[in-house]
Structure 1
Amino acid sequence: MTESAIAVLDIDGTLIDSNYQHALAWYRALRSVGEIYPVWRLHRLIGMGGDQLVAALGGEDLERRVGDEVRERQGKEVDALLEEMSPLPGARDLLVAIKERGHRLVLASSAKERHVDVFLDKLDARDIVDDWTTSDDVEESKPAPDLLQVALKKVGAPPDASSVMVGDAVWDVKAAQKIGMPSIVVRSGGFGDDELRKAGAKAIYDTPADLLNSLDDTPLA
């Protein structure tokens, strides 16, 4: 990838430190309808889209009984926690550096539009990135690859375009793998290096700042 590439970066958890708040929001939403699941189990699913998380947690029975209601309640719980979510070290500088190297840049998120708007403001990124996605853009979220495919389409990428995914969870890596997109991961998702490498991650860094410092060693040089 020595020529211009398309960088597809996850926002929620990768650029914004939000994973543990999301786990707590899911816990509170589920508890409000009488469903108690350990927070560690919820954390293991963060990064997976809300359309898939409930069934992954408790099966199709849980999804059928409370799925839609829990997703709505979880969104409201997140609303109350947005103020606590901050950009991870080096997040905005990483975006600037990728653009300065001549790459196209898309922020890919399956979060609700109102949450993505807040994250874009926290990153002051609207004038840096070429485009972004929200949950409204896809019918099926990660680990399905739909979100990444939409992100590429938003910048008019041809099928053979050079691209790379930057995420924080095994779900990001698995989505990228399904369309042959290499992935770089930061550890803010809380997954073990062994899990991330098994899923297919090409490189792993602590924070966006660490990735920025090693950018010349990646496909985004």
Structure 2
Amino acid sequence: MERVKAVIFDMDGLMIDTERLYFDVERLIARNFGKEVKDETLWKMMGRKPLEAITVFAEDLGLDISPRELLSIRDDLFVKKLINEVEAMPGLFDILNSIRGKLKMAIATGSPNKFLKIVLDKLKIEDYFDVFVTSDEVEKGKPDPEVYNTAAKRLGVMPAECIVLEDSSNGALAGVTAGCYTIAVPSVYTNKQDFSFVNYIARDLKDAAEKINELICRE
């Protein structure tokens, strides 16, 4: 790869344990409609723009409700859980501190800006990052590479000079397609997904940090 100049973090499921919150909310909504949602549907939704994701949900469950109305229901439930239950993934502050001062950092998330702001405020991590890109600012969600291309451009670097950290197959595919060195950090919710195409599969954020520092030291 090119000389590493930046690391771009996904947010949900990678930095914070939100997949559990999303899954809880989406299973509750399904039950409220007398349905059960399969894990495969929840996996397909991961990393996508919110309206795209909830459209997948509605179609797979055969719900007779507009995606926008369904998204409003999900967001109301999710915000309450996010404010009360958001937690950093193990090793998050370790990896942030190990990179700080060495490389530029960005967050490129499929979540809307309102969710990002809650996370930054709750965890007090805004100062670590140079750039933020949310689903509100891109036309196409992951697995399209637009969010990572946008982040690289705002960081003032080439995608090939970036390392992307992702927990989902959709997100990892976006990173690879953008031309970034992509490290997958699968969670308990995504470890059955396909990551065969990434550059490195890390056991956890600590392992990812060690890999990043190894890549820096090679230069």
Question: Matches of 1:220 and 1:30 in 2, distance apart?
Answer: 48
Question: Matches of 1:44 and 1:10 in 2, distance apart?
Answer: 16
CA contact (8 A) 1:49 1:142 kept: yes
1:148 maps to a residue whose letter is Y
Which moved further from structure 2: 17-26 or 51-60? 51-60
- The verdict on how the C-alpha distance between 1:170 and 1:107 changes in structure 2, with shifts beyond 3 A counting, is same
Counterpart of 2:52 in structure 1 is 52
Which moved further from structure 2: 82-91 or 35-44? 35-44
CA contact (8 A) 1:92 1:124 kept: no
- Structure 1 residue 134: Cα displacement: 1.8
- Structure 1 residue 14: Cα displacement: 0.2
Q: TM-score, normalised by structure 2?
A: 0.84
Aligned residues: 216
- Structure 1 residue 15: Cα displacement: 0.6
Residue 188 of structure 1 aligns to a residue whose secondary structure is coil
Q: What are the Cα deviations for residues 68-104 of structure 1, in whole angstroms up to 9, with x where unaligned? A: 1111111111112112120011112212222232x11
- Structure 1 residue 31: Cα displacement: 4.3
- The verdict on how the C-alpha distance between 1:26 and 1:76 changes in structure 2, with shifts beyond 3 A counting, is same
CA contact (8 A) 1:111 1:135 kept: yes
RMSD, aligned α-carbons: 2.7
CA contact (8 A) 1:2 1:219 kept: no
Residue 211 of structure 1 aligns to a residue whose secondary structure is helix
Q: TM-score, normalised by structure 1?
A: 0.84
Question: Matches of 2:88 and 2:217 in 1, distance apart?
Answer: 21
Structure 2, unaligned runs of 5 or more: none
CA contact (8 A) 1:4 1:104 kept: no
Question: Matches of 2:37 and 2:189 in 1, distance apart?
Answer: 16
1:205 maps to a residue whose letter is A
Q: What are the Cα deviations for residues 37-90 of structure 1, in whole angstroms up to 9, with x where unaligned? A: 325234323233322223434549958842111111111111121121200111
Question: Matches of 2:80 and 2:180 in 1, distance apart?
Answer: 35
Q: Identify which of 189, 211, 214 aligns with 1:217.
A: 214
- The verdict on how the C-alpha distance between 1:2 and 1:152 changes in structure 2, with shifts beyond 3 A counting, is closer
- Structure 1 residue 161: Cα displacement: 5.0
Question: Matches of 2:34 and 2:69 in 1, distance apart?
Answer: 12
